[in-house]
Structure 1
Amino acid sequence: MGFCKILKICYIYFSLIGLIALQGCGILTGDIAKRKFDNTLPFPEEIRTINDVTSIGLEWKMPENLEEIGGYVIYENTTKKNENSANSKIIAIIKNPFATHYYIQKLKPQTNYSYQIASLGRNNTISIKSPPINIKTSYIDPVENIFASKDLPKQIKIFWSPHNNPSIKRYIIERKTQEGKFLKVGIVPHRLYVEFFDKDLEDGKVYSYRVISESYENAKSLPSAIVTGSTRKKPLGVQNLQASTNLVKSILITWNLPENPNVPIKNFKIFTSRTLNGKFSFLAQTKENFYKVLNLKDGEIRYYKVISVDADGIESEMNIGAIQGNALPPPPTPKILSATIINNQAVLKWEIEDDTRNIINFKVCRSENNKNQICFDNIMQQEFIDKEMRPNIKYQYDVRSVDEYNLESLPTPIQSLGF
């Protein structure tokens, strides 16, 4: 058997022994503390490093006098907060003198680390440590070509170029808060899936975003460039809102259509309240620029606000002020001029002081001892004679005016007559 083949078999043997020893590192750490320092024992030199995002590779030159070497110890130097001196801990024990490589994983990206290597003597000794090996882990490049939409309804679309690193597992999307911090708002689960919709946002508002890539080893990339997107502005509100005051038992609300809307207006929403400063509740929805409120009481007052709604359901601001409308009030109540008994007959005379309404007739209502009311309609004169009075009965009379819309005024004060 040749020397090279023997050397190869020995290398495999010692590699297996070294792997077993490495797995039992925690058990062997106590053995290291019992060893004596040997200043003459050579330690690894010409140490080179290769840095990755979450791992570091170490390579060293095999020491001379290999017959004195039984393996190697790798230390990690740590410096605690508020301390200037470094502490060392053993992270690997390699029981193989032929070993010249080792890698350390599960590190943090863009972080400084320091290591040293010592040799193990075959006679229960240990060398001094090598000079510190200082290294910084690498990083994953940020994604490129990131954009954000400017005019989507209640949402912003963020999209970017796929990362060229195949180790990327997913993307993390962050949004900037009012306090200036970036917080996660979503995750995109694949390297080639390169868009995200941030939804349920306020109308007409600007938001800032950045994207962070994450590898299968859970290492995060540098943040992307910050981009700003904005949601669609609210549509313009209606103009020249008016409400009628002269319709019978109804109010007609009208308004002008918004001029040159960026998005077509789909419909309008009408809100109403009984008082100007009261709570406005939803009344109706229409596609026209008018709406008629029906079945009101004579003279009933209502306050209205109208908002426009675009094709995507974005609503305009609700105006602070409101428009007042009212149904046509009752006609003016007659004024009694006289109420007398003449020849055992009741004679009532009246007049209309307010001539702004077209009064077409009058109505007189009579009760007997406040009971059994009957009314006499279509009285054309401003006078009424009751020829059917009986003695020893108290009669009560009131007069009402009736206009062209057949609206009836409030009754006059009661006039009591009898003989």
Structure 2
Amino acid sequence: MKLSLLTTLCAASLLLLSGCAEITPKPKEKVVVDSTLPTISLTKNGIITDMKTVAFEWKSITDPRVEGIYVYKKSPQDKAANELEYYDTIDTRYSTHYVDRTVEPDTKYSYAFRVFTKESQGVNSKVFVVNTLPVLQSVSWIHSITGLPRIAKIIWRPHVSERVSTYIIERKTFEDKEWHQIDELSGRLNAEYIDTGLEDNHVYMYRIRVKTYDGIISTPSQIVKSITKPLPVSVTKIEASKNLPKAIKITWSPSKQKDFERYYLYRADDIDGSYELIAKLYNNHFTDKIDEDGKTYFYKVSVLDKDGLESEHDKNKVMGMTLTKPNAPAIVEAKLQGNKIELKWGKSDPRTVSYIVVKKSKKGWFDKISKEYKGLTKSLFIDAAIEPDTLYTYTVYSVDKNGIVSEPSIEVQIKTPESQEIISASKAKATQEESVKAVSTKSSSSETTVAPAEELDLNGL
């Protein structure tokens, strides 16, 4: 039994190899018809059609003269041809099946078969008219979920046909002219698709096609629309202070967003500069602590919702500034009066509540001393703690109620003479201060008026 089976397989292999080695025979132009040759006769269920396939089955041919079968076909495209035309060759009489895979769904075709020998052909078979199956319909139900943050969700009922292998997801916007395939999901039982990375408050349309294991693609499903969630509404009426010491207070109108999460506050050095996120807030105000006087910043505020969407905020910016320094005092007179030095200045800023006088003394090349006198409320400073042959430099600062110190006044210098009449600093009385009753730049004959440092000519010292 095994030997017989092996012999049969070897014979079949030889027939196949022999057929591959020769050119497939085609019908001759001049046909010699032999009516004694068998005619192809289909079996009871001899035709099976699918969407892109037509299969035939016929009864076995036993006549040893037959070498093969010619296949004739007429397609809808062959409207000019009145008869069927040669289409294919089956180069063995042992075959009882033929499959045509070059057909379109829901299309009518005509077929006929004829056996052939080396010298002649048999009579044509009956013409078999077949109609391929229509394209598979897509899913029967599809639905979209709208209002999601930069996301669209599509759900559908899984296809009933077990031939379905994948779902093809197609998308289109109002701006698009054609549909675009955005994904393909494997598995017939899949029932949802989530499209991410979408624009805010944008309309997207979706449809689905199914694909079978043999590559047949269905008609498109019903079209569904999905609208992504809009951005939160921006805040309005942003204000920033310009008169607080070492701080800027920013306030804005409260958000009316139903799913409000928090505010984001941004700051930059320039109005069109790079803004940095400096605070995440639940209240509609913030005080920015800044250890610098007269510092300017620009601010903008955004609203964040519970889905993480952030409102637009580039169009609404505001400038804030910390309180500037008070104006420096204007020194109007500095003179050596006997064994004292008198310094007078005018009040140049109404914010000033006190003054600071910085005194620097230099005797020789290396003996340098600096001393500050704070909390002065008068506009006259009398320094009795002086020594002979010493260069003194004075600078005055204004101080406001917040403790903000002004820039230094103009610097003035006085050089004491080499005289024994000047009391030494160790024996001098305490430094005094008085109010300026009348500002005068004239000096009496007994006074020595000293000009500011920048106007002095020290070459003679």
Question: TM-score, length-normalised on structure 2?
Answer: 0.73
Within 2, Cα distance between the matches of 1:219 and 1:92?
A: 27
Q: Distance in 2 between matches of 1:381 and 1:313?
A: 60
Superposition deviation, residue 379 in structure 1 = 0.4
Checking the alignment, whether the CA contact within 8 Å between 2:52 and 2:104 is kept in structure 1 is: yes
CA distance in 2, matches of 1:89, 1:369: 119
Q: Which moved more, 1:135-144 or 1:194-203?
A: 135-144
* Kept after mapping to 2: 8 A contact 1:37/1:127: no
Please state how far the C-alpha of 1:61 moved relative to its aligned partner: 10
Cα distance in 1 for residues equivalent to 2:329 and 2:103:
94
**2:265 is equivalent to residue 267 of structure 1:** no
Tell me the amino acid that sits aligned with residue 215 of structure 2.
N
Aligned to 2:343: 348
> What is the aligned partner in structure 2 of residue 171 from structure 1?
167
- More displaced 10-residue stretch of structure 1: 246-255 or 70-79: 70-79
Identity of aligned residues (%): 25
The Cα shift of 1:136 comes to 5.2
Contact 2:52 2:103 in 1 (8 A): yes
Alpha-carbon distance change, 222 to 76 in structure 1, aligned in 2, over 3 angstroms: same
Distance in 1, Cα, partners of 2:17 & 2:254:
82
Question: Match of 2:373, SS?
Answer: strand
Does residue 305 of structure 2 align to residue 307 of structure 1?
no
Separation in 1, partners of 2:253, 2:135: 59
Deviation sequence 1:201-232 (CA, Å, 0-9, x none): 22222222221111122211112233221211
Q: Distance in 1 between matches of 2:86 and 2:360?
A: 112
Query: Which of 50, 53, 56 is equivalent to 1:55?
Result: 53
Q: Show the counterpart of 2:32.
A: 38
SS of residue matched to 2:249: strand
Which of 233, 236, 245 is the equivalent residue of 1:236?
Answer: 233
Equivalences for residues 358-397 of structure 1 within 5 A: 359-369=352-362, 371-397=368-394
Paired position in structure 1 for 2:405: 408
> Which has the higher mean CA deviation after the structures are superposed, 193-202 or 172-181?
172-181
Matching residue of 2:136: 140
Please list, as runs of the form range in 1=range in 2, the aligned pairs for 1:242-321 lying within 5 A after superposition: 242-259=239-256, 261-262=257-258, 264-321=259-316
For 2:373 and 2:118, how far apart are their aligned partners in 1? 134
Structure 1 unaligned residues grouped into runs of 5+: 1-15
Question: Once the 2 structures are TM-superposed, how far is the Cα of residue 139 of structure 1 from its aligned partner?
Answer: 0.8
Q: Which residue is 1:193 aligned to? A: 190
C-alpha displacement of 1:109 = 5.1
Q: TM-score, normalised by structure 1?
A: 0.79
Unaligned runs of 5+ in 2: 1-8, 417-461
The alignment covers a number of residue pairs equal to 394
Query: What secondary structure sits across from 2:25 in the alignment?
Result: helix
Deviation (angstroms), 1:246: 2.2
CA contact (8 A) 1:301 1:325 kept: yes
Q: Distance in 2 between matches of 1:289 and 1:214?
A: 55
Shift of 1:376: 0.5
- Which SS does the other structure have where 2:252 is aligned? strand
Letter in 2 for 1:375: E
When Rg is computed on C-alpha atoms for both structures, the one with the higher figure is 2
Cα distance between partner residues in 1 of 2:303 and 2:103: 54
The CA RMSD over aligned residues, in Å, is: 4.0
CA distance in 1, matches of 2:164, 2:194: 20
Following TM superposition, by how much is the alpha carbon of 1:256 offset from its aligned partner in structure 2, in angstroms?
A: 1.8
Mapping of 1:80-91 within 5 angstroms? 89-90=87-88
Change in Cα spacing, 1:37 to 1:27, as seen in structure 2 (3 Å) is farther
Show CA shifts across 1:10-49 (max 9, x none).
xxxxxx9xx9899679538736348773235486599996
Where does residue 429 of structure 2 map in the other structure? Answer: none
**Higher mean C-alpha deviation, range 370-379 or range 229-238:** 370-379
- CA shift, 1:417, in A, is 2.1
Of residues 296-305 and 67-76 in structure 1, the stretch that sits farther from structure 2 once superposed is: 67-76
Return 113-122 or 309-318, whichever deviates more.
113-122
Matched, 1:157 2:150: no
